[in-house]
Amino acid sequence: MTETIDHWETPQKILVILAHPDDPEFFCGATLAKWARAGHEITYLLLTCGDKGFNPTTHPEMTPEKLCGIRHVEQANAAKVIGAKPPLFMDLPDGYLIPDLNLRREVVREIRRHKPNILVTCDPQNLFALYGINHPDHRACGQVVLDAVFPAADNIAYFPELIEEGFQPHMPKEVWCSLTNQPNTTIDVTETWDIKMKAILEHATQVQDAGKLIERFKSRRTEDSTEENPRYEEKFRVVKYG
């Protein structure tokens, strides 16, 4: 049994930390659009720029450096559609994320810098996704974010060098893990599903056939709805601290 728990009484600062450009839109874009329209402040932090997201055989003219720049623009345009602030990037190498102490420190720094009420990432335990094997960067990102939240983000004894830099401990009230196979929270996103799709299509380098993609996502309507009156949901594993 899942519940809806996003009826916050005041505007929230929401920090979305995911691995690649397009992850926010694909994983939970309709929820983010719903939150933006409810007046919440949404900031994206992408750990990579997705510089390996191309096929050298079909796009021999593309390079990782060139794609990185293109995907920065695509993500900025998609974030604007969603209603989020201009995205931030760490620009770490795509495909090589490791949830080690160095990256954990960087994520702790950003949590303390932005001081979100709500933190959104993805579930590191999800080995398989609808498209097959879940990308290792997704799992690494989720792992390092959760490890940064607890026990480090709110504990002055962890990474004391960050205190010297002026970044005081901070604990988000809630952590929302998208792309999960063990949800405890369901959000009805029917009203913002079209916004999600519009934002996804801004990632032109990642969309090979827009028509097929739209049809595939239409099939994700809930089982209790119809093609004429579809209903859509996005699901999360939520951990509350406040």
Least confident of 49-63, 83-97, 111-125: 49-63
Kindly list the domain boundaries of the chain, sorted by start residue: 13-240
How would residue 2 be classed by pLDDT, with cut points 50, 70 and 90? very low
Q: What is the pLDDT of residues 148-191, one digit of tens each?
A: 999 999 999 999 999 999 999 999 999 999 999 999 999 999 99
pLDDT-above-90 percentage for the chain: 91
Q: What is the pLDDT of residues 7-56, one digit of tens each?
A: 799 999 999 999 999 999 999 999 999 999 999 999 999 999 999 999 88
pLDDT at residue 85 above 80?
yes
Q: Please give the Cα distance from 181 to 35 (Å, whole number).
A: 22
pLDDT at residue 116 above 50?
yes
**What pLDDT is attached to residue 1?**
37
**What pLDDT is attached to residue 129?**
76
**What pLDDT is attached to residue 5?**
61
pLDDT at residue 131 above 90?
no
pLDDT at residue 196 above 70?
yes
Q: Which amino acid is at 224?
A: D
pLDDT at residue 4 above 80?
no
Q: Which amino acid is at 130?
A: L
Angle (CA) 203-209-92 rounded to 5° is: 30
How would residue 3 be classed by pLDDT, with cut points 50, 70 and 90? very low
pLDDT at residue 133 above 60?
yes
Kindly state which CATH superfamily the domain 13-240 is placed in: LmbE-like (3.40.50.10320)
Least confident of 3-17, 182-196, 198-212: 3-17
Q: Please give the Cα distance from 196 to 203 (Å, whole number).
A: 12
Could you tell me the two tokens for 236?
């999360």
**Average pLDDT rounded to a whole number, residues 61-88:** 97
DSSP string spanning the chain?
A: --B-----SS--EEEEEESSTTHHHHHHHHHHHHHHHTT-EEEEEEEE--TT-S-TTT-TT--HHHHHHHHHHHHHHHHHHHTPPPPEEEEEPTT-----HHHHHHHHHHHHHH--SEEEEE-TT--EETTEEPPHHHHHHHHHHHHIIIIIIT-TTS-HHHHHTT------SEEEEES-SS-SEEEE-GGGHHHHHHHHTT-GGG-S-HHHHHHHHHTTS-TTS-SSS---EEEEEEEE--
